[in-house]
């Protein structure tokens, strides 16, 4: 009996090991927020990759090294399609991560990919979690929204970048680096409403990471809503908005745990 039990245990261990070897590796697609680019993930990408994960960091049209593309033709749909294309290029189902404004982008991408089985999970990093018909501009103070709309109507399609310190970056070297990389945001991405067509399709697992030291007030209603929603996994980090810059290892560990 003892020998049979030991053989059974050995077989179970072998099967578990075999299943582990056959399980697809984690596959992250990272979508940045407003004024940023793929560069903002440069500290965290190698940390994820060292675990065997595949990592793709997207630069959205009109930003960072693609800033010369900025025009009135770039809108929210342009950015959603970029994220959709990045996911479709992956061999394995993706963990789609959206930071800040990127929450609009991954929400739209997940909706368009809803029937394709290409997503493992969604992770919102201190991000918007919008509903159908919402615009980023709806979250802006009225005066700022009116200025953005007036400038776009006059043919100025650049929403000026802000300072790195607005994202809770206090280290002088980090702030200087981020300031040197930030570029203007295409105004159309803030002004076009999000359209969701597959709300009835079951969504992949969803997680929210709140960055609370300091917190950005614009995300407070979203955090209050999701903190007690059983459909979401909710976590907090004691750092500022750009956690991939200020606490890359802690964020990498959390992304791996939530994936």
Share of the chain above pLDDT 90, in %: 88
For 25-34, what is each residue's pLDDT tens digit?
899 999 999 9
pLDDT of residue 23: 62
95: domain CATH number is 3.40.50.1820
Sort residue 140 into left (φ over 0), alpha (ψ -120 to 50) or beta. beta
Cα(37)–Cα(46) distance, integer angstroms: 17
Per the domain annotation, does 19 fall within a domain? no
Q: What is the pTM of this model?
A: 0.91
Q: Which of 100, 163, 200, 203 is catalytic?
A: 100
The answer to whether 26 touches 95, Cβ cutoff 8 Å, is yes
CB count within 10 Å of CB 197 equals 11
Q: How many domains does the chain have?
A: 1
As a whole number, mean pLDDT of residues 110-136 equals 97
Mean confidence (pLDDT) of the chain: 92
Q: Classify strands 185-186 and 232-237 as parallel, antiparallel or unpaired.
A: unpaired
As a whole number, mean pLDDT of residues 164-192 equals 98
Per the domain annotation, does 12 fall within a domain? no
Could you say which DSSP state residue 172 is in?
Answer: H
Q: By residue range, what is the domain housing residue 213? A: 27-258
Concerning whether 14 is annotated as a catalytic residue, the answer is no
Question: Looking at the predicted structure, is the pLDDT value of residue 232 above 70?
Answer: yes
Share of the chain above pLDDT 70, in %: 91
Residue 209, helix vs strand vs coil: strand
pLDDT of residue 201: 85
Per the domain annotation, does 11 fall within a domain? no
Cα(225)–Cα(243) distance, integer angstroms: 21
| Rounded-to-5 percentages of helix, strand, coil across the chain | 45, 15, 40
The answer to whether 155 touches 226, Cβ cutoff 8 Å, is no
Report CA dihedral (89, 92, 97, 98) to the nearest 10 degrees. 30
């Amino acid at each position: 009996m003892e020998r049979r039990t030991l053989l059974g245990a050995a077989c179970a261990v072998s099967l578990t090991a075999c299943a582990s070897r056959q399980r697809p590796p984690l596959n992250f697609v990272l979508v940045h927020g407003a004024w940023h680019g793929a560069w903002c993930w440069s500290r965290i990408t190698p940390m994820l990759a060292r675990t065997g994960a595949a990592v793709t960091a997207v630069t959205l049209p009109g930003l960072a090294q693609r800033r010369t593309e900025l025009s009135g033709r770039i809108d929210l749909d342009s950015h959603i399609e970029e994220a959709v294309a990045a996911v479709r290029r992956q061999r394995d189902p993706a963990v789609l991560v959206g930071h800040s404004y990127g929450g609009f982008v991954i929400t739209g991408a997940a909706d368009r990919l809803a029937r394709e089985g290409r997503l493992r999970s969604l992770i919102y990093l201190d991000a918007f979690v919008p509903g159908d018909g919402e615009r980023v501009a709806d979250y802006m103070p009225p005066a700022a929204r009116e200025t953005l709309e007036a400038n776009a109507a006059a043919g100025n399609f650049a929403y000026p970048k802000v300072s790195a310190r607005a994202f809770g970056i206090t280290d002088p070297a980090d702030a200087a680096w981020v300031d040197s990389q930030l570029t203007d945001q295409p105004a159309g991405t803030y002004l076009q409403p999000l359209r969701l067509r597959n709300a009835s399709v079951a969504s992949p697992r969803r997680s929210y990471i709140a960055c609370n030291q300091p917190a950005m007030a614009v995300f407070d209603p979203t955090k209050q809503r999701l903190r007690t929603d059983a459909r979401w996994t909710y976590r907090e980090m004691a750092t500022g908005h750009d956690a991939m810059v200020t606490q890359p290892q802690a964020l990498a560990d959390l992304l791996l745990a939530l994936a």
